[in-house]
Amino acid sequence: MADSFRRNGPPATEPPRDVGQSTGTSAWMQAHAEELARQTAELGRKTTEFEILQRVSSAITSTLDLEEIYDIALRTMDELFEFHHANILLVEPDGETLAVVASHGYENQAVGGRVRIGTGVIGIVAQRRKILHVSNMGQKRAYAAAQRQQMMKSGRGAELSDAVPVPGLASAESQIAIPLLIRGELIGVFSIESPVRRTFSEHDRGLVSIVANQIASAINNARLYEERARAANALQEANASLEARVADRTAALERELSVAQELLKDARSRVEGPLLGESPAVRALREAISRAAARVGPLLLVGPPGAGKEAVAHAVHDASRRRGAFIFVSCPELSTQVSHPGVDTSPAVRPERALLAEKLELAAGGTVFLDAVERLPLEFRYALHEILEAYETHSSDWTLVADVRVIASTTRDSRPDVETGRPGPLHRLLSTNQIDVPALADRRQDIAVLVDHFVRRQAMHLGKVIDDVSVESMRQLEAYAWPGNIRELRTVIERAILVSRGTVLEIDEELLDESPSVGSYRLVSRLGTGGMGEVWRARHRLLARPAAVKLIRHDVEHGPGHEDLVRRFQREARVTSGLRSPHTVQLYDFGVNDTGTFYYVMELLDGFDLQTIVTRFGPQPWERVIVFLRQACRSLAEAHAHELVHRDIKPANLFVTILGSEYDYLKVLDFGIVKDQPGHEATALSAGDVLQGTPAFMAPERMLGEGVIDGRSDIYSLACTAYWALTGQPVFQASSPAQMLIHHVQKRPAAPSTISELPISCDLESILMRCLEKDPAHRSPSALDLDRELASVRCEKPWTQQKARAWWEAHAPDVAVRNHR
Amino acid sequence: MQVALPVEIRPVLDNGIPAVMVTCSGNGVPNTTIISQVYYVDETHVALSFQFFSKTIRNVRENPRAYVLVTDVAGQVAWILQVEFQHSETEGPIFNAMDMQIEAIASATGMSGIFKLRGADIYRVLSVERLPYSKSPVS
């Protein structure tokens, strides 16, 4: 569109006078008619433009949808200027690039293309924020290319940079780009292109600027609207999230309140009752409580488990009219609270001391009750001792304890110090004031009152009507030994009421079984005694399942090294529970009983350990030994895969049994000294370290403390065990454990075939001798490898299930009958 | 002496192939060069891009008169403009408009900083002559 009208000016308003009248008039009229036609066409064009502008203005301001705005803008530009190719680009958040958000007329959609500000027609327009029309672009590009080539030829190529592709028509001849501005700020660029050369008048530039301004305003409005909608959504989501969190928190608080109420109820139930009665013992107890309440120093309550020491502590607290809280602290569980987020564990403050101080602060103006203080972990004992000394010395801890009554309970009258054998300093501090809480057996005349109290309370709790206890049941209750004291009495009553059907309570004799128990298991008979504990045959109170219960022996539990033994015991339980091989003994349960004795419950195995088999029935055929070894390998393979080394593989820890229909089923026992592998071990003879294991079956590297202790140590011990099973003799004979250890380190073993009277497979012997090598690198690398090697041993008469069954029926018919019904 | 540029020359200035400029030194030695842009300033003035034609610039400063040949290949027409150098601009709307044109092409072709407008030389148009189209008007 050219505005030639304005350039050429209007035609003359009168006909020329210097030419012939008719010719002049005719020419003037023709010129005037042409000019009129041109002006009419111009008017029509402007009318069309105006209509288009009006339409676009109306359309573009009637929507807030960006896609619709883009579409209107692109169609309008096409309609007005017939360029047929157009892009709308918006400034990216980085402020350095523009991205195509809408395009029109391109074969391949240009959307997503990017232009760096300052590059190409669009980039320059964005940079200068001015409209730009470039025509004859092909020639200009060719001219630039020629210049470029000339520079290359003249050796100035290094001054050049790479050409930058820009989205749009590669063959465009004309391009006009308009900045989209809002209050002077660039938001994007509108670009239209044509593959032919086009002129672009001032009028066109004005027109395109008007449309561009409208587009910019519409885009800006739509974006503001989107932002507002997003903000509203975000606010709504935040509100919803906040409401949900408030609801969750409310629910959590309600749950906490409910739990706290239950705990309070439970605590009340535990302290109600024990002080009832009129026996001399309980009257003396009440008097002692009155006396203790008048004092302020530490108080020690001594009595058997379940006798009501916590109730006595509460009674002292109440009688002393203390306004602060009664804080119950379970001493055995303190170490699990050290990592509690509220505890200051900075290096400057010992965590044990910080935790105790926290409990004392909670009990300000009240009482802190340290239950089972004899089971207070060693590190806490020192911290508690320091704090309690403040009572005597008024040291810096005085502010901590000045307003707190410390009451501790123990099941033992005195606790000898580990080093001196005399009562420890902590016990001395605590026992300045002491109250002995009597066992229920020592106040039998109170049993009837206590029974009545517990029956009424529990019946009300369960909504039952119990009028009385049968005469026979009351007689049994009064005659029973009550090893668990008042706690056991309460439990028995609760259980009896739970299953009662009438209004007269009958006590099942089963509830008054005096055989010792741990957890849910009654101990039936002692099966044996080991290095650190006893093993009992047990039965579950409710299930028919028999079980074996392992306990730390009392003499061990209270002796030197108690802490290490308990840790070792706990580790064995933890490790065994994590192993799933059917050839590893299965763990059922683990815990601490009322007297603080650690126990764990495992499957009860009926049969013999390999030690017993060889001792009682002599060396075993090599084919059978292979069957045993391969099963042991599978158990060890799993343990080794968990990076655990058994460290005590020996005949006594390989148990042979009948499992269902399978004879000679082997299980590996006693993971008590298992160790995470790989690891270094102190030498056997170094001071301060205890070498655990059995010398006759111990790998040399464990004594030397050289290199890494891994599964190959177990393989050595397993080879020693096989040697024993084949020959009935250990690998080395020695007069003392120390000599035995030295032999394992230095001496080469004799081949088992030179000792045994029974034939031994050459293949098996070769494998065993290799596994008995001093250097672990020369042994089978893993239990799985050893299993494979054993499987490949040539065997003409393998040990079959028929042979195994025959063996059991001949040598242990009672076991065979019990296990194969 | 000065003449007005005819209307029909305007598209040729926009779309013509690079123009040919002929100058003459003070001692009468002629020089021919190609210029990328002949910018329409108004009816009686054009601006020529001063990029790197040191000899042309020297000549024009010594002898301000020059000839410019613009050719419209599509329209099969060529024009010879006799022009006279008046002054050079290194800023302002004319300079900026011409600079944008050049930089738009230069930045996309890896010629930024090289293919660059150093000045917009303003010339008065002394005469305009329409020529028959020739493929090689200079020769």
Of B10, B100, B110, the CB nearest to A161: B110
pLDDT value of residue B113: 76
pLDDT digit string, tens, across residues A172-221: 888 889 999 988 889 999 988 888 877 777 778 888 888 888 888 888 88
Which residues are CB-neighbours of A479 under 8 A, at least 6 positions away? none
Tell me if A166 and B108 make a contact (CB, 8 A cut-off). yes
**Residue A451 carries which side chain, given as an amino acid letter?**
V
Measured between CB atoms, does A811 come within 8 Å of chain B?
Answer: no
Give the number of A-B residue pairs with CB atoms closer than 8 Å: 87
Closest-CA distance of chain A to residue B114, Å: 8
What are the DSSP calls for A28-58, one per residue? Answer: HHHHHHHHHHHHHHHHHHHHHHHHHHHHHHH
Fold for the domain defined by A441-514 = Helicase, Ruva Protein; domain 3 (1.10.8)
Considering only alpha carbons, which residue of chain B is nearest residue A198?
B15
Please state the rounded mean pLDDT for residues A708-721.
Answer: 92
**Residue B124 carries which side chain, given as an amino acid letter?**
R
N-term to C-term CA, chain B: 28
Closest CA to A708 of A777, A635, A648, A780: A777
Closest-CA distance of chain B to residue A163, Å: 4
Cα–Cα distance, A578 to A289 (Å, whole number) = 48
Q: Which domains does chain B have, with CATH numbers?
A: 7-132 (2.30.110.10)
Output the CA angle A725-A730-A731, nearest 5 degrees.
105
Please state the rounded mean pLDDT for residues A45-72.
Answer: 79
The CATH number of domain A605-819, selected from 1.20.1250.20, 3.40.50.2300, 2.60.40.420, 1.10.510.10: 1.10.510.10
Closest-CA distance of chain B to residue A162, Å: 5
Cα–Cα distance, A581 to A578 (Å, whole number) = 10
Tell me if B105 and A144 make a contact (CB, 8 A cut-off). yes
- Assembly ipTM: 0.82
Half-sphere exposure for A686 (CA within 13 Å, toward CB): 11
Closest-CA distance of chain B to residue A12, Å: 19
Cα–Cα distance, A783 to A787 (Å, whole number) = 6
Considering only alpha carbons, which residue of chain A is nearest residue B107?
A119
Q: Are B111 and A152 in contact, with CB atoms under 8 Å apart? A: no
Q: Are A543 and A556 in contact, with CB atoms under 8 Å apart? A: no
pLDDT value of residue A123: 92
pTM, two decimal places:
0.41
Fold for the domain defined by A272-431 = Rossmann fold (3.40.50)
Predicted confidence (pLDDT) at residue A286 exceeds the cutoff of 60: yes
Cα–Cα distance, A407 to A301 (Å, whole number) = 7
Tell me if A143 and B34 make a contact (CB, 8 A cut-off). yes
Please state the rounded mean pLDDT for residues A10-38.
Answer: 69
Percent of chain A scoring above 90 in pLDDT = 30
Of A4, A136, A163, the CB nearest to B14: A136
- B chain contacts of residue A163, beta-carbon cutoff 8 Å: 108-110
Q: How many helices and strands in chain A, by DSSP H and E?
A: 26, 24
pLDDT digit string, tens, across residues A103-136: 888 766 677 788 889 888 999 999 999 999 888 7
Greatest mean pLDDT among A411-420, A439-448, A585-594, B47-56 lies in A439-448
Tell me if A124 and B107 make a contact (CB, 8 A cut-off). yes
How sure is the predictor about A813, in pLDDT bands with cuts at 50, 70 and 90?
confident
pLDDT value of residue A4: 33
pLDDT digit string, tens, across residues A68-104: 888 888 887 777 777 778 888 999 988 899 998 888 8
Residue positions of A annotated with a catalytic role: 648
Task: Please provide the CATH number assigned to the domain covering A38-148+166-226.
Answer: 3.30.450.40
Residues 166-185 of A with CB under 8 A from B: 166, 173
| Domain spans of chain A, in order of start | 38-148+166-226, 272-431, 441-514, 519-604, 605-819
Task: Please provide the CATH number assigned to the domain covering A519-604.
Answer: 3.30.200.20
